[in-house]
Amino acid sequence: MNENVGTYDVVVAGGGPAGVVFGYLMARAGMKVLLLEAYRDFNRQFRGDTLNPLTMGLLDEMGLMEEVLALPHNKVDTVKAVGAKDIEAFNLTYSRMPSKYPYVMILSQPIFLNFMVAKASAFPTFSVQMQARVNDLIEEDGRIRGVRYKTADNVVHEARAQLVIGADGRNSVVREKARLETRTITKEPTYVLWFRLPLEAGDPPEGLVAREEEQTTLFMFRRPDEWQVSLTLKKGVEYKAWKEQGVEQMRAAVAEMVPQFRERMGAIEWKDTSLLPVELKQALRWYRDGLLVIGDAAHIMSPFGGIGINLAIRDAVHAANILVEPLTRRNVQVRDLKKVQDRVMWELRIVQGLQAKQQDSAPRPGEVIGLPPIARLMLRIPIIRDLPIFVLSFGLVPTRIGRRFRKPVPRLVTAAGD
Ligand SMILES: Cc1cc2nc3c(=O)[nH]c(=O)nc-3n(C[C@H](O)[C@H](O)[C@H](O)COP(=O)(O)OP(=O)(O)OC[C@H]3O[C@@H](n4cnc5c(N)ncnc54)[C@H](O)[C@@H]3O)c2cc1C
């Protein structure tokens, strides 16, 4: 027997939110699961930290929420945007949401991913391989039968499975190798610069604030131990030309928007920042016989609205609910995989359409962030006022954990978050 070949029920490529939640649920249902993650650990580049009320409700149904609440986190219950001249553009609150958890939980992704993997590892049918980069699919008679992946020692392995899940994010290799076509929804990328600043006494208490100046819009997310700051270049501001104005100009722009950050910005150099071109994409079809892509591999989300993690987890839950029976019968059909896409696709079209519209009509230099007067007026009507936050909190597709996954499981672990 070739020791570099393994056989599983499910192989999951990618240990992001979609992959770890799907892997956990499948292991909980007794499936033999292999989770492959390209990096050595989960301390990858910042990819957001927000869990919305729907996700917390799902974790509650899985019986995990008590332990999740014990992990270091912050709570945010308002999202506030302050335009030029300190005019408040909008101030939306989660506190009226009909949920046991009416807020956004800011929970560092590495901590969350480690936690989920620790919980999954309590099941004997679950295994995880870090530094395992999927680079090809095994295809026989038109059906995907598994993946090939390379480990840190440069050895190529094969993992064969009833089902391959591509949860390998925005630049998905699985999607590419499966030849699943994508369409780009935004007209042009928006450039966002990210960096961290230390948290200090006297900082604004709000968890999430947007501000703006002539050329950029700033979003600041209060994490338990630091600020994560993003500077979005306004439409028409070219990154290269903007950067050539010098680091001092960037520091001054931030200080103008958030005077408390002036001194802290003195220590920020270009090397401390990372640039992300934001483009929205959608895979037209998420599946092939024997394979399904979920999360950002199926629909690349923008960071705006803080929903990408939550939609990735939501995909994982629908996929697990729909596929657990066919997997148990060892008879996963293309129509089962199609059901997963059909369940959520209509909503994604709306959400990504709105994100693209927001991105494509973002302010130009001199224009201010904010809502048109009619929208401001409508937001004074209570039922309409809460609608945007309701959609951000719960989405439009009803989502619950399937009965199969609800039965209590013993509290076996955890050294989570370590
Ligand atoms: C800068 C930024 C900030 C964001 N902020 C937020 C936010 O605040 N809230 C929010 O909800 N969303 C946010 N998002 C969006 C969110 O990060 C994504 O929508 C979400 O992470 C998607 O989860 P996923 O599991 O599908 O993919 P990912 O989180 O991208 O995970 C994919 C995983 O697959 C691994 N991988 C990749 N290729 C391979 C391979 N070939 N083999 C094996 N493993 C592989 C990667 O290392 C990664 O761990 C942000 C995105 C960005 C870029």
8 A C-beta contact, residue 311 and residue 15: no
Taking residues 175-180, report their average pLDDT.
Answer: 98
Task: Please report the atom of ligand 1 found closest to the CA of residue 296.
Answer: 26
Span 325-349, average pLDDT: 97
Of the chain, the percentage scoring pLDDT greater than 90 comes to 65
pLDDT score at 416: 42
Nearest CA to ligand 1 atom 9: 306
Structure tokens at 189: 């990328």
Segment 35-62 mean pLDDT: 92
Mean pLDDT, all residues of the chain: 89
The domains of the chain, with CATH numbers, are 5-185+280-400 (3.50.50.60), 190-278 (3.30.9.40)
Choice from 47, 133, 221 to test ligand 1 binding pocket (greatest atom count within 8 A of CB): 47
- Mean pLDDT, residues 168-190: 95
Give pLDDT, residue 209. 76
Please tell me the distance from the alpha carbon of residue 212 to that of residue 218, in angstroms, as a whole number: 6
Q: How confident is the model at residue 33 (pLDDT cuts 50, 70, 90)?
A: very high
The Å distance, Cα 378 to ligand 1 centre, comes to 34
The residue with greater pLDDT, 312 or 406, is: 312
Least confident segment among 95-99, 289-293, 342-346, 370-374 = 370-374
Query: For residue 91, what are the β-bridge partners?
Result: 80
Instruction: Report yes or no: 121 and 136 within 8 Å, Cβ to Cβ.
Output: no
Give the residue-averaged pLDDT of 10-33.
98
Helix then strand then coil, in percent of the chain rounded to 5, is 35, 25, 40
Read off the pLDDT band of 1 (50, 70, 90): very low
Task: Name the residue among 70, 154, 157 with its Cα closest to residue 118.
Answer: 70
pLDDT number for residue 367 = 66
Contact 115, 141 (CB under 8 A): no
pLDDT, tens digit, for every residue of 244-275?
999 999 999 999 999 999 999 999 999 999 99
Cβ–Cβ under 8 Å, residues 33 and 12: yes
Mean pLDDT on 321-337: 98
Mean pLDDT of all residues in 324-336: 97
pLDDT tops 80 at residue 351? yes
* CA 126–ligand 1 middle distance (angstroms): 22
Q: Per-residue pLDDT for 92 more than 60?
A: yes
CA of 10 to the centre of ligand 1 (A): 20
Pocket, ligand 1, Cβ cutoff 6 A: 13-19, 36-39, 44, 46-50, 133-134, 167-170, 173, 194, 276, 295-297, 301, 303, 306-310, 312
Residue 305 pLDDT class (50, 70, 90 cuts): confident
Using alpha carbons, select from 156, 167, 170, 127 the residue that is nearest to residue 315: 167
- pLDDT band (50, 70, 90) for residue 366: low
Of the pLDDT bands very low, low, confident and very high (cuts 50, 70, 90), residue 166 is very high
For position 361, what pLDDT does the model report? 74
Q: What is the dihedral of CA 194, 281, 362, 267, to 10 degrees?
A: 10
pLDDT for residue 417 is more than 80: no
> Using CA atoms, how far apart are residues 68 and 210, in angstroms rounded to an integer?
28
What is the best residue among 137, 150, 309 to mutate for testing ligand 1's pocket, by most ligand atoms within 8 Å of CB? 309
Nearest alpha carbon, ligand 1 atom 52? 47
Q: 89: pLDDT confidence band, cut at 50, 70 and 90? A: low
- Among 50-64, 201-215, 336-350, which stretch is predicted with the lowest mean pLDDT? 201-215
pLDDT band at 3 (very low <50, low <70, confident <90, very high): low
Atom number of ligand 1 nearest to Cα 135: 41
Query: What's the rounded mean pLDDT across residues 92-111?
Result: 92
Q: Which atom of ligand 1 is nearest to the CA of 172?
A: 38
CA of 279 to the centre of ligand 1 (A): 14
Residue 307: which of 44, 20, 50, 15 has the closest Cα? Answer: 50
**255 against 391, higher pLDDT:** 255
pTM of this prediction? 0.91
Q: pLDDT tens across 200-210, in order?
A: 988 887 777 77
Of all protein residues, the one whose alpha carbon is nearest to atom 6 of ligand 1 is 48
Short-list 166, 238, 197, 183, CA closest to 353: 183
pLDDT at residue number 212: 82
More confident residue, 285 or 354: 285
- Looking from the CA of residue 230, the nearest atom of ligand 1 is 1
